[in-house]
Amino acid sequence: MALSVVILAAGSGTRMKSSTPKVLHKICGQELLFYSIETALELSDDVHIVLYHQAQRVQEACEAKFGDRVKFHIQDFENFPGTGGALMNNRALIPTAHSKILILNGDMPLITAPSLQKLLSCSSPVVLGVIESKNPYGYGRVLRQDCKVQAIIEEKDASEEVKKICTINSGIYVFATEVLAKFLPRLDNHNAQKEYYLTDIIKLCVAEGYEIESVELDEEEFSGINDKIQLSSAEEIMLARLREKAMREGVIMHLPSSIYIEKSVRFEGECEIEQGVQIFGETLIKDSHIKAHSTIRDSQIISSDIGPMAHIRPNSYIQKTHIGNFVEVKNSKLYSIKAGHLSYLGDSEIDEGSNIGAGVITCNYDGKQKHKTKIGKNVFVGSDTQLIAPLIIADHTLIGAGSTIRKDSKEGDLLISRSEQKNLENGYFVFFKDKK
Ligand code: UD1
Ligand code: CA
């Protein structure tokens, strides 16, 4: 279809009460605007974004992800504020656009392409997405006569009678480009907000006999995000979608409502995820079992079991491995090992068959720099050992419990560093004089 998509994202988003532009706030780890761009790109390869507030920051963020697949326009906000103003005087857009233009808002991340198809399949020159809302406050009300759309009145311009109308404007439209081009220059700002309202196009079209079609849309999907309460509600809806997708692909989830996964997380093969697990960033979980309340970020977990209550930090690659409770791993490559309890493995590489005892710590930071710990195959690291990096432990090394290791080993060594134990006879009773 010859379709152009315009995403309006110039507004300041003051109700977010944030120095971050509204459309760069995230749900499930991804910027609000990026969801709209992804949906737009599913429908068209001619996608435009209108920016003004913190335009440079928003544009840079978009370009980092989408490259040159989207085009940017800066609204002349000083002279033409408002949703109509966003499209006015834009010679780079309106005359060159395809025959149809879909207008989206940058703060509606839950919209899906199939829902937009309902609007795109209509033939009228103006198609308006409407919502039957129980709480229409703040939205433009849609006036209809004999089922035909007559006008949209903004809350701030509405009479008490109009405010009772529960059919609201979603802010999503499909225009025949020639109709939009014809009426945009006729918009004025004679209203309570002194803005150029895109919604005024409707009454101009009606006056000239154009038919306006309205399509009812789902409120959950099409309500925009204006504050941080709506941000959190949208995130819950997105989370439910991501979890359902994962489960449909074969992931077992226990108490799914307690599991947090980001959009960029991938599952492969058969996985089991227990309650309270959080998985962030560019993470792959493949044929693995993640036990309750573990946290994983920007890592790959393959054929392994993790947790409960383990913390896997960025850039960890864990394969055929057992990680138990209260183990923290960071920037490490673990292949076919066991680390069952209470350890910190940072900047390390540990090979097949090695066993990491309870309480083992890689001392990777000397106060100035990070250093690596390399442990070979079939190494046994006794409990409560400190491995002072940089350190290389050869294959088949045995390390006695409670050792502080700072010298490399060679194959077959037994390493032990402990002070001699003294047994002082009756020392207990000397100390606790009253306990005999
Ligand atoms: C607008 C509609 C209203 C509808 C509501 C749905 C108008 C006049 N009103 O309300 O009927 O019920 O959307 O959410 O259109 N934007 C710009 N430039 C601007 C102003 C806004 O690009 O000068 C962008 C915003 O970034 C946002 C979108 O347009 O993505 C909608 O703006 P917003 O202020 O949220 O909508 P309202 O004017 O409240
Ligand atoms: Ca507004």
pLDDT, average across residues 278-291: 98
Domain count across the chain: 2
Closest by alpha carbon to 266, among 290, 289, 255, 282? 282
- What the block records as the tokens of 155 is 């809350």
pLDDT of 330 > 80? The answer is yes
Q: What is the mean pLDDT of residues 14-24?
A: 95
CATH of the domain at 369: 2.160.10.10
Determine the pLDDT at residue 32.
98
pLDDT above 70 (res 20):
yes
Identify the bridge partners of residue 27 per DSSP, sorted by sequence position: 30
| Per-residue confidence (pLDDT) for residue 223, from 0 to 100 | 83
Query: Average pLDDT of the chain?
Result: 96
Three-state secondary structure call for residue 227:
coil
> Do 370 and 391 belong together in one domain?
yes
CA of 267 to the centre of ligand 1 (A): 37
Best mutation site among 6, 83, 105, 162 for ligand 1 pocket (most ligand atoms within 8 Å of CB) = 83
Catalytic residue among 293, 341, 371, 396: 341
Span 89-105, pLDDT tens digits: 888 888 888 999 999 99
- Tell me which of 200, 227, 254 is where a domain ends: 227
Decide if pLDDT at 169 tops 80. yes
Pair 390, 380 in one domain: yes
* 355 has pLDDT over 70: yes
Same domain, 145 and 215: yes
Q: Which ligand is nearest to the CA of 140?
A: 1
In a domain, 207, yes or no: yes
Whether residue 101 is found in the same domain as residue 179: yes
Dig out the tokens for 196 from the structure. Answer: 């150029």
How many Å apart are CA 429 and CA 416, to the nearest integer?
A: 32
pLDDT of residue 92: 82
Q: What is the DSSP letter of 171?
A: E
Predicted local distance difference test score (pLDDT) of residue 95: 82
- Is 98 part of the annotated catalytic residue set? no
Q: Label the pairing between strands 100-105 and 126-132.
A: unpaired
Average pLDDT on 220-229 reads 92
Distance (Å) from CA 229 to ligand 2 centroid: 18
Distances (CA, A) of 122 to 5, 175, 210: 16, 11, 14
Contact 261, 28 (CB under 8 A): yes
Whether the pLDDT of residue 435 is over 80: the answer is no
Domain of residue 74 covers 3-227
Q: Is the pLDDT of residue 244 over 90?
A: yes
CA pair distance 278, 312, nearest whole angstrom: 10
pLDDT mean over 100-125: 96
Rounded distance between C-alpha atoms, residue 28 and residue 36, angstroms: 14
- Other CB atoms within 10 A of residue 87 CB: 27
Q: Is the pLDDT of residue 1 over 70?
A: no
Cα–Cα distance measured from residue 229 to residue 163, given in angstroms and rounded to the nearest whole number: 24
pLDDT at 147: 78
Q: What share of the chain is helix, strand, coil (3-state, %, to 5)?
A: 25, 30, 45
Q: Whose C-alpha lies nearest to ligand 1, atom 3?
A: 140
